[in-house]
Amino acid sequence: MNTGKVWLVGAGPGDIGLFTLKGMETLKNAEVVVYDSLVGQGVLSKIPKTAKCINVGKRASHHTMPQEKINEILAQEAKKGLKVVRLKGGDPFLFGRGGEELELLAREGIPYEVVPGVTSPIAVPAYNGIPVTHRDFTSSLHIITGHKKQNQAYDIDFEALVRTKGTLVFLMGVTAMGDILNALMKAGMEKDMPAAILQKGTTAGQKRIVATVSTLEEEVKRRGIETPAIIVVGKVCALAEEFAWYEKLPLAGYKVLVTRPKDLISSMAEKLRGLGAEVLELPAICTQPLEDQSALYQAFEAISSYQWIAFTSPTGVKVFFDEMKKQKLDTRCLGSVKVAAIGNGTQKALEEKGIFADLVPEVFDGEHLGKALCQVCEGKEKILIPRAKIGSRELTDQLKKKEGIQVDDIATYDTFYDKQDVINEMKEFEAGNIDCAVFTSASTVRGFEAATHGLDYSKVRAACIGKQTKAAADALGMETYMSECARIDSLVQLVVELKDKKTRKKE
């Protein structure tokens, strides 16, 4: 029997940037993913579409599945010969019951590995400007579970904790915060000892309340807090205001949905995260080369008869050169053919193939590419357009206006709308959890519509890259905004402006 293997993977505290490289690589190859509710959505969005997903939803007082059952599932799936990833918030061995999950696997001889994760007792204070150790204040850190069984006293030596004079971090202790703080004071802790509660650290929902052990409970009642949250007690909490850095980032506290073609890495998401946004990156469309490329192969045979090749997307570039490779053709066969391209992404894809575009319109859409080609053509040119099966007619409509131009508009790939089941996009928008959706093409708007059928689209604030994209979002009734020019940097700037607008409104 081919026995599979289990990987216990720590997903970190929420921010996908804190998910380890090894964790990402392991997740990428998973055939089964068993995950809990503390795993950040950014990490969940990276689960392979082909993987079987099992939500065991563990969270304080809301256990959807007993621990023993989870252990059995891991063993059962591995026995089928599958690669099983047990994805856990934070680190698997820090109050993650990872040890319990390994017991059954070890007993049954099922292979396993542990991939540690960045843990919240260190990362969340760091995102709030609180160093858990500081030579002027403390030389020790103590991490304690604040969770206790109902109607039972804590099995914690609070007096010993107070004597350490160290930083104390309580996990899963929000509902019993009053009991914890009172027990510390009863054990001899000074009433004016700084204390903080840190909500949803490393995500857009991050919030902190800093007070003292005697006043924190009252402050929380006054200002409110949501779970998950951690409690930090110690002199280092007094440094929070001085060392705070996350909230100073332009997009801190802003959650953005970025839609993209599945096979394209999003530089948009990278730039937004760099500015502090929590980015949920979900594929809205996926592309697939056509099985029958005979029309393109005929064009290859007559390539010297073309004066121009016009590329409208990075995918179009990729498929074109992949098919050239299959036919054992290299770039020399293009000879003196000139190349036109829409947009920075397409330009970049061409440059990676060693080709610099001769023509790129100022406005990145089919209409302006068509107009630009008409201006540089004398009227006897032959133009090849290898692109999506459902391509915009704006480009070809413009080229028809110039007498004598011959156009070979060849479909090389098809576009499909994609949907993932782990994150409910519709629910996120209805709950008001996403501040803004970013669309980089009209097809990503249509893909988003297919994934959220039935949503009240007036709840969606849409940042759009150009006229066509905005028109598609307007047609659904979204609250739309368009970037000044059709460039990624301009679209990022628009998102920053939308966040500023929201902040001013609150004030």
Instruction: Give the contacts of 39 (CB within 8 A, at least 6 positions apart).
Output: 11, 87, 88, 89
Side chain identity at residue 500, one-letter code: D
The residues pairing with 195 across neighbouring beta strands, listed in sequence order, are 211, 233
Contacts of 70 (CB under 8 A, 6+ apart): 34, 56, 58, 86, 101
Cα torsion 478, 484, 490, 494 to 10°: value is -40
The string of DSSP codes covering 276-293 is T-EEEEEEEEEEEE-S--
Give the span between the Cα atoms of 234 and 56, in whole angstroms.
Answer: 34
For residues 281 and 262, what is the distance between their CA atoms, to the nearest angstrom? 10
Question: Phi/psi class of residue 174: alpha, beta or left (left: φ > 0; alpha: ψ in -120 to 50)?
Answer: alpha
- As to burial, measured by CB atoms within 10 angstroms (0-12 exposed, 13-18 middle, 19+ buried), residue 331 is exposed
Active site residues: 36, 58, 172
What tokens appear for 349 in the block?
């894809």
Q: What Cα–Cα distance (Å) separates residue 493 from each residue in 272, 273, 277, 464?
A: 9, 13, 13, 12
CA–CA gap between residue 498 and residue 271 (Å, rounded): 16
DSSP-H helix ranges across 363-441: 366-376, 393-400, 425-430
The CA distance from 223 to 505, in Å, is 20
DSSP state for residue 361 in the 8-state scheme: -
Element (H, E) at 112: strand 112-115
- At position 451, the amino acid (one-letter code) is A
User: Rounded to the nearest 5°, which phi and psi values hold at 288?
Assistant: -145, 125
**Is residue 19 classed as helix, strand or coil in its secondary structure?**
coil
Which of these, 408, 426, 98, lies nearest to 257 by C-alpha position? 426
320: tokens are: 């074109």
Fill in the amino acid letter for 288. Q
CA distances for 474 relative to 78, 92, 114, 461, 464, angstroms: 48, 45, 48, 11, 10
Q: Which residue has the tokens 């802790």?
A: 189
Whose structure tokens read 């390994």? 102
Closest CA to 87 of 125, 56, 124: 56
